[in-house]
């Protein structure tokens, strides 16, 4: 308890904070030329004399390490920005990466921001169809990828992407339609003055799935760096010189906001690992890299619990000061297990692609109530709103009602924090529908206890959270219905002790096709080929899918049947406090 007494209390944090004060902690571009995320993450540290510090340490699966100092990262990102200029990329153009945890990912992200273009990362485990959709919706002008990913997932899409002008690969180009990023970088100089950048200029584009329709492209601006920096200090306890490991893939918003931007603004050394999940490798990395702060996902922690405490205790994890988790609700049992195994609790927190940064958190020095996602970060007003029969906040005459303690409702936030998304790309009406009665409506269900701690309950819609990834059922259903045997499909998230939820599909077959194990395996393989990591893990045949009066498949009823609940009753999924 001794270290807790040295931390400011929650009330002290909130009383002494303003977003204006948080902005003053960043330098801004020299000469008052605005605010640029890449300058705050890299260049200002070099100007302050810290260019020799290691900024990025990329660990390969075989243990080899590639390190970039802050000065080298500055020069490489300058080169990338110059490459974009040579290609004719202009301010606001979208640059998409389909890469893993490799140096080029981080150089491309920050170099894009220096050039005034918009950085849009994609998850490298996506199948060709999700990649095609996102490239098309983004209007991407440039795609950066690896030769392998280009051959397997990108080359066949080029004819369907009229806006895509350039493809650059990190190695030898597989064909004449792709160029070499390495060769392009060698032809430009590393001197660059970042052009004046308005805080409200678009900077980041992150795709998130909805329950119906196509993926949504959430647009964030350069001012988001103010929230990235402040929340990393409050929720992750980041300090200059820390060694920080965020296990999230850079293709998701966590891997960008807190895997790239936030730790670099604090002058941390960012550790990445290119290998797959392996307890011995993970614990070995924590030990060998002397990680101070570890930000991971409940799925990973639950998998570590399955292996028991022995692998952890075989390694020296004494450098760890803070462990945090995000992506889905964190089981209370995991918090307690971590406290027993690591000598540290796991600090859960909550946020979304749309919020751009952590909104609710368990803070260092604050009482942790296992199972709670914590309390709102300084500068953010959160509430639980009374909901209607559809599960969403009840709005009457433009007004909403705040629910009392212990009452489940829709989690809502007062707009105005710096990292709040500024729109869905090309979908103004969809963006406006996220706000009502002076609140941003998150679509998540929660409750607040009498002391102000927030408790996650579930989604107000049907979005599936699998291993920390948001998966839209409609996207999966659309692909399954392209199989010649399938006339209709309904997709749900099935509770899973490790992944949180796994994707399960129910399909209705066309006349002339009969259910069989061979057909099931064929459909699973078809889904994996087209959807990659979004594909269903289970498929059932159902010739009588339930429908609403308007003809929509009733996913909630499918889920209730799967769980053996009364029709439509999912209340038993709510977590007790």
Output the domain CATH number for residue 41: 3.40.50.12780
Q: Among residues 14, 71, 82, 1, which one has the least CA distance to residue 42?
A: 71
Q: Is the pLDDT of residue 8 over 90?
A: no
Average pLDDT over every residue of 408-417: 95
Decide which of 404, 436, 459 is a domain's last residue: 459
Q: Residue 439: which CATH number? A: 2.30.38.10
CB 379 within 8 Å of CB 417: yes
Decide which of 361, 394, 409 is a domain's last residue: 361
Dist. CA 271–CA 294, nearest whole Å? 10
Report the domain count for the chain: 3
Average pLDDT over every residue of 283-294: 98
Q: Is the pLDDT of residue 26 over 60?
A: yes
119 falls within a domain = yes
Q: Is the pLDDT of residue 568 over 80?
A: no
205 falls within a domain = yes
Neighbouring residues of 199: CB distance < 8 A, sequence distance ≥ 6 = 34, 35, 221, 222, 223
Q: How confident is the model at residue 567 (pLDDT cuts 50, 70, 90)?
A: low
Average pLDDT over every residue of 389-414: 88
241 falls within a domain = yes
Say whether both 162 and 48 belong to one domain.
Answer: yes
Say whether both 179 and 275 belong to one domain.
Answer: yes
Give the CB-side neighbour count of residue 319, counting CA atoms within 13 A.
19
Give the pLDDT of residue 3.
43
Give the pLDDT of residue 329.
78
Q: What is the pLDDT of residues 229-270, one digit of tens each?
A: 999 999 999 999 999 999 999 999 999 999 999 999 999 999
Give the pLDDT of residue 432.
96
Give the pLDDT of residue 481.
87
Give the pLDDT of residue 493.
92
Say whether both 71 and 154 belong to one domain.
Answer: yes
372 falls within a domain = no
The residue with greater pLDDT, 2 or 412, is: 412
Decide which of 459, 475, 495 is a domain's last residue: 459
Say whether both 355 and 403 belong to one domain.
Answer: no
Q: Is the pLDDT of residue 527 over 80?
A: yes
Q: Is the pLDDT of residue 570 over 90?
A: no
Q: How confident is the model at residue 327 (pLDDT cuts 50, 70, 90)?
A: confident
Say whether both 46 and 67 belong to one domain.
Answer: yes
Q: Is the pLDDT of residue 528 over 80?
A: yes
Q: Is the pLDDT of residue 511 over 50?
A: yes
Q: Which two tokens stand for residue 116?
A: 């005034």
Say whether both 443 and 522 belong to one domain.
Answer: no
Q: What is the pLDDT of residues 163-185, one digit of tens each?
A: 999 999 999 999 999 999 999 99
Q: Domain of residue 164: give its range.
A: 2-361
Dist. CA 272–CA 243, nearest whole Å? 11
Dist. CA 95–CA 164, nearest whole Å? 10
Q: How many residues does the chain have?
A: 577
Average pLDDT over every residue of 552-576: 66
Specify the range with the lowest mean pLDDT, choosing from 12-16, 345-349, 419-423, 550-554: 550-554
Q: Is the pLDDT of residue 574 over 50?
A: no
Q: Is the pLDDT of residue 280 over 90?
A: yes
373 falls within a domain = no
Q: Residue 500: which CATH number? A: 3.30.300.30
218 phi and psi angles, rounded to 5 deg: -80, 125
The residue with greater pLDDT, 268 or 456, is: 268
**Exposed (0-12), middle (13-18) or buried (19+): which is 107, by Cβ within 10 Å?**
buried
Say whether both 450 and 542 belong to one domain.
Answer: no
pTM: 0.87
493 phi and psi angles, rounded to 5 deg: -100, 125
Alpha helices in 392-508 (DSSP H): 428-432, 473-480
Q: Is the pLDDT of residue 572 over 70?
A: no
410 phi and psi angles, rounded to 5 deg: -90, 130
369 falls within a domain = no
Give the pLDDT of residue 573.
37
CB 206 within 8 Å of CB 220: yes
Top-ranked range on mean pLDDT: pick from 62-76, 203-217, 563-577: 62-76
Give the CB-side neighbour count of residue 304, counting CA atoms within 13 A.
25
If you average pLDDT over every residue of the chain, what do you get? 92
Say whether both 422 and 354 belong to one domain.
Answer: no
**CA-based end-to-end distance of the chain:** 24
DSSP E strands in 88-194: the ranges are 94-98, 118-122, 142-145, 166-169, 179-180
**Exposed (0-12), middle (13-18) or buried (19+): which is 518, by Cβ within 10 Å?**
exposed
Q: How confident is the model at residue 465 (pLDDT cuts 50, 70, 90)?
A: confident
Give the pLDDT of residue 460.
76
Q: How confident is the model at residue 575 (pLDDT cuts 50, 70, 90)?
A: very low
Q: How confident is the model at residue 569 (pLDDT cuts 50, 70, 90)?
A: very low
Q: Is the pLDDT of residue 2 over 70?
A: no
Say whether both 484 and 427 belong to one domain.
Answer: no
Give the pLDDT of residue 55.
98
Say whether both 454 and 470 belong to one domain.
Answer: no
3 state DSSP class of 483: coil
Q: How confident is the model at residue 299 (pLDDT cuts 50, 70, 90)?
A: confident
Say whether both 445 and 412 belong to one domain.
Answer: yes
Say whether both 243 and 324 belong to one domain.
Answer: yes
Give the pLDDT of residue 548.
66
Average pLDDT over every residue of 288-314: 93
Q: How confident is the model at residue 189 (pLDDT cuts 50, 70, 90)?
A: very high
321 falls within a domain = yes
376 falls within a domain = no
* 473-480 helix and 517-531 helix, angle to the nearest 10 degrees: 120
Which residues are 486's β-sheet partners? 509
């Amino acid at each position: 308890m001794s270290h807790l007494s040295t931390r400011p209390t929650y009330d002290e944090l909130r009383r002494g904070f303003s977003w204006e004060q948080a902005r003053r902690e960043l330098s801004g571009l020299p000469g008052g030329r605005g605010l640029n995320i890449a300058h705050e993450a890299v260049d200002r540290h070099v100007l302050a004399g810290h260019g020799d510090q290691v900024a990025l340490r990329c660990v390969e699966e075989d243990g080899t390490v590639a390190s970039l100092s802050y000065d080298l990262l500055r020069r490489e990102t300058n080169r990338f920005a110059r490459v974009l200029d040579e290609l004719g990329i202009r301010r606001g153009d979208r640059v998409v990466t389909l890469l893993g945890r490799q140096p080029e990912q981080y150089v491309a992200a920050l170099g894009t921001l220096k050039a005034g273009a918009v950085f849009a990362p994609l998850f490298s485990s996506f199948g060709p169809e999700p990649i095609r959709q996102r490239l098309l919706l983004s209007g991407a002008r440039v795609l950066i990828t690896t030769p392998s990913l280009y051959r397997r997932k990108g080359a066949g899409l080029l004819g369907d992407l009229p806006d895509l002008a350039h493809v650059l690969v990190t190695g030898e180009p597989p064909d004449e339609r792709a160029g070499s990023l390495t060769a392009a970088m060698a032809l430009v100089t590393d001197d660059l003055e970042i052009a004046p950048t308005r805080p409200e200029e678009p900077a980041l584009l992150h795709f998130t799935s909805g329950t119906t329709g196509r993926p949504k492209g959430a647009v964030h601006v350069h001012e988001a760096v103010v929230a990235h920096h402040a929340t990393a200090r409050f929720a992750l306890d980041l300090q200059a010189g820390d060694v920080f490991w965020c296990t999230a893939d850079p293709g998701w918003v966590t891997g960008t906001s807190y895997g790239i931007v936030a730790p670099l603004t604090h002058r941390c050394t960012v550790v990445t690992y290119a290998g797959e999940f392996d307890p011995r490798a993970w614990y070995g990395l924590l030990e060998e890299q002397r990680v101070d702060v570890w930000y991971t996902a409940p799925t990973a922690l639950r998998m570590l619990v399955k292996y028991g405490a022995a692998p952890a205790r075989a390694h020296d994890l004494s450098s760890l000061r803070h462990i945090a988790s995000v992506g889905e609700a964190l089981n209370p049992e995991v918090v307690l297990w971590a406290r027993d195994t690591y000598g540290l609790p796991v600090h859960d927190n909550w946020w979304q692609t749309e919020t751009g940064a952590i909104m609710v958190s368990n803070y260092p020095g604050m009482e942790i109530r296992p199972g709670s996602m914590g309390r709102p970060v300084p500068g953010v007003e959160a509430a639980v709103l009374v909901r209607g029969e559809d599960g969403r906040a009840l709005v009457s005459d433009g007004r909403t009602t705040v629910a009392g303690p212990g009452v489940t409702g829709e989690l809502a936030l007062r707009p105005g924090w710096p990292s709040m998304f500024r729109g869905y790309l090309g979908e103004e009406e969809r963006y406006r529908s996220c706000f009502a009665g002076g609140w941003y409506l998150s679509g998540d269900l929660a409750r607040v206890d009498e002391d102000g701690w927030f408790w996650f309950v579930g989604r107000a819609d049907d979005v599936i959270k699998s291993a920390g990834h948001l998966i839209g059922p409609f996207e999966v259903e659309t692909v399954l219905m392209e199989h010649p045997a399938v006339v209709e499909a309904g997709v749900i998230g099935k509770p899973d002790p490790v992944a949180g939820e796994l994707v399960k599909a129910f399909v209705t077959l066309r006349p002339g096709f009969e259910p069989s194990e061979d057909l099931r395996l064929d459909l699973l393989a078809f889904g994996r080929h087209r959807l990659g990591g979004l594909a269903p893990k289970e498929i059932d045949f159902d010739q009588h899918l339930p429908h609403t009066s308007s003809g929509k498949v009733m996913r909630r009823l499918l889920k209730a049947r799967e769980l053996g609940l009364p029709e439509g009753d999912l209340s038993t999924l709510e977590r007790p406090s």
